[in-house]
Amino acid sequence: MKKLYEKNESTFAIVWIIFYCFVQSLANFLNEIIGIEYAANATFCILQTAVLFVFLKKNGLCKRYGLCRSSVPASRFLYYIPLIFLITGNLWNGAALNYSPAGTACRIAAMLCVGFLEEMIFRGLLFKAIAKENVNRAIIISSVTFGIGHIINLLNGSGMTLMENLYQIIFAIAVGFLFVILFYRGQSLLPCIITHSAINSLSTFAREAGFTKEQQIANCVSMIAITVSYTVVLLKTLPKAQGKD
């Protein structure tokens, strides 16, 4: 793994993206065989998280990929308050127990790891690799790739409808832009990892009963509006000099 990284950082990132997507798709089928919701996802995600973290730690790459505190004061990021609204978005319609106790535990474990994996792969590995040549291109590619990558949920047996997947992709692209700005300007990936993990984990308890299509659209539009507004504010207020490749 180290040889591939040293040879071509972009290829290393792409390999991780492909491997991650393949494993998650495989896990959705294995869950049915195991009989416990998200059991395979949790197992695979924990293993992938451990492997990637150990690799970064062993090779002294934690700071390069933002596993450190930001040197920029929290006040410059509005104390990350808008992120709280994004985190709670899945509970705006109320909370419910949607899975068995074992399934709930497995889903939460998986979603916590997904937050780390997806942020490190798309905002860390992929962004940093492309940013060495062109930062603006890196911002666009890492964000759009992250969003479009969610189309896999339409193909892997997750049960998501076309419209739900479309909403997810649009929101993911918007969040991708926000998170890459947070990382690029603050040099810390921790706010992105924490927010991503929290959003995913709380989705476990999202109440879908009585949630009309109109309400779903309103919820999605509100989340996107918060995300885009926060991104615009950060772009206007944070000094570009904070970003270093």
**pLDDT per position as a tens digit, 71-96:** 899 999 999 999 999 999 999 989 99
d(Cα 181, Cα 83) in Å, to the nearest integer?
A: 13
Q: Smallest Cα–Cα separation from 114: which of 27, 12, 20?
A: 20
DSSP-H helix ranges across the chain: 2-7, 9-34, 39-58, 81-88, 101-118, 127-131, 135-148, 162-186, 190-202, 213-237
Q: Using alpha carbons only, what angle is made at residue 99 by residues 98 and 100, rounded to the nearest 5 degrees?
A: 140
pTM: 0.93
Per-residue pLDDT of the chain (245 residues; tens, 9 = 90+): 999 999 999 999 999 999 998 998 899 889 999 999 999 999 999 999 999 999 999 999 999 999 999 989 999 999 999 999 999 999 998 999 999 999 999 999 999 999 999 999 999 999 999 999 999 999 999 999 998 887 776 665 556 677 777 888 999 999 999 999 999 999 999 999 999 999 999 999 999 887 787 888 888 899 999 999 999 999 999 877 544 55
Buried b / exposed e along 63-84 (16+ C-beta atoms within 10 A): eebbbeebebeeeebeebebbe
**Dihedral sign (CA 68, 72, 75, 76):** negative
- The CB density around residue 155, as the number of other CB atoms within 10 Å, is 11
DSSP-H helix ranges across 89-189: 101-118, 127-131, 135-148, 162-186
pLDDT reported for residue 153: 67
pLDDT reported for residue 102: 97
Token pair of 217 as six digits: 């659209």
d(Cα 56, Cα 46) in Å, to the nearest integer?
A: 15
pLDDT reported for residue 154: 61
d(Cα 54, Cα 48) in Å, to the nearest integer?
A: 10
Query: What Cα–Cα distance (Å) separates residue 166 from each residue in 26, 64, 126, 149, 183?
Result: 22, 33, 23, 11, 26
- Coil, strand or helix: which one is 95? strand
Summarised one tens digit per residue, pLDDT across range 187-221 is 999 999 999 999 999 999 999 887 787 888 888 89
What is the chain's alpha carbon radius of gyration, rounded to the nearest angstrom? 18
